[in-house]
């Protein structure tokens, strides 16, 4: 299986929050840390929901900075990855 990950503008820093991930190409904040993308990659390999998909990864919005998943919009998949 495979997962194509397309992060927005990468910056250095700690994985201080869960990134926003969307298979519909949606993004939130236009910067995401390399550590957050790595964290997402490590989790996406074991999540069948992401297998054989392209995923846009961006910084989580301020309201979704908790590690709880954000409810997906009808017909779209966009979540914060814990």
β-strands 53-58, 20-22: how paired? antiparallel
**At residue 65, does pLDDT exceed 80?**
no
> What would the pLDDT profile of 14-59 be if each residue is shown by its tens digit?
887 789 999 999 999 999 999 999 999 999 989 999 999 999 999 9
Q: What is the pLDDT of residue 68?
A: 47
| Angstrom distances, CA of residue 32 to CA of 35, 54, 75 | 8, 17, 25
Q: What is the pLDDT of residue 77?
A: 56
Q: What is the pLDDT of residue 81?
A: 57
């Amino acid at each position: 299986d495979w997962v194509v990950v397309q992060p927005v503008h990468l910056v250095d820093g700690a994985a201080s929050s869960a990134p926003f991930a969307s298979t519909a190409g949606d993004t939130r904040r236009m910067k995401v840390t390399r550590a957050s993308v790595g964290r997402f990659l490590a989790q996406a390999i074991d999540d069948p929901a992401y297998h054989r998909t392209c995923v846009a990864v961006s910084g989580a919005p301020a309201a979704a900075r908790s590690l709880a998943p954000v409810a997906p919009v009808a017909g779209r998949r966009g979540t914060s990855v814990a």
